[in-house]
Amino acid sequence: MIAALPASRVLDVGCGTGLNAGFLKARGHSVTGVDISPVAIERFTSQGFEGFVCDVSAQSLPVGNDTFDLVYASEVIEHCTDTETFLGELFRVLRPGGKLVLSTPNSAFWPYRILAAAGRTPSEYQHQGHVRFFSQKSLRRAVENAGFGAVNVSGRHMYLLFGSAVDPAAVVLRKLGFEQEQRFRTGGYFWQLSRFSPKASGFWADTLFLDAAKPNTSA
């Protein structure tokens, strides 16, 4: 979603130690990072990036209005209690016509719906640091309420998944297109069959990818 864009001034929100920033820099982008962790920012800036410590859901970013061409926030919004403030700050620092790209788990994914019938919630299966849980509709609504337009939600559609008990069939699963995926919560893994879709299904998508634009007031 970002690689094809022209060289841009990018704010990497939740930059960590710089894995995604390195990817963006290699594609010609100028990257500034922000993270809640001082340790992460220390490692981030040691690689030559500009970065600063800030909790974007509770503090103002130490940059001016209309500073960045692109704001990138991968798997961050679900960790923010105050998503209204979070999205408001991202909107403020984007230039008119600038682009927001973010991702977050889909808490209306089909296995969660099945588990809900058994009295379980997504909070029991997602990362323990998640405090907000989004469906496709609620994510779109939050971003639009923050002032963004041209909102598009794509997704990774996951059609089948199995636990590690099917390992004896690993050779067959790989031939069918299944991949192993780690589980952060348990440290284990599962087998999944998925593909990217430019238009997310609120039922099939396990991960939502949203891109939106700050309206160009000069237009």
Report the C-alpha gap between 99 and 96 in whole angstroms: 9
Take residue 202 and report the two structure tokens written for it: 């609120």
- Helical H segments across the chain, by residue range: 19-26, 38-45, 83-93, 110-117, 136-145, 170-175
Give, in order, the Cα–Cα distances in Å from 199 to each of 33, 113, 156, 158, 204: 29, 20, 10, 14, 11
β-strands 30-35, 9-13 pairing: parallel
Report the C-alpha gap between 88 and 154 in whole angstroms: 22
pLDDT per residue as tens, the chain (219 positions): 776 788 899 999 999 999 999 999 999 999 999 999 999 999 999 999 999 999 998 999 999 999 999 999 999 999 999 999 999 999 999 999 999 999 999 999 999 999 998 888 888 878 788 889 999 999 999 999 999 999 999 999 999 999 999 999 999 999 999 999 987 767 789 999 999 999 999 999 999 999 999 998 744
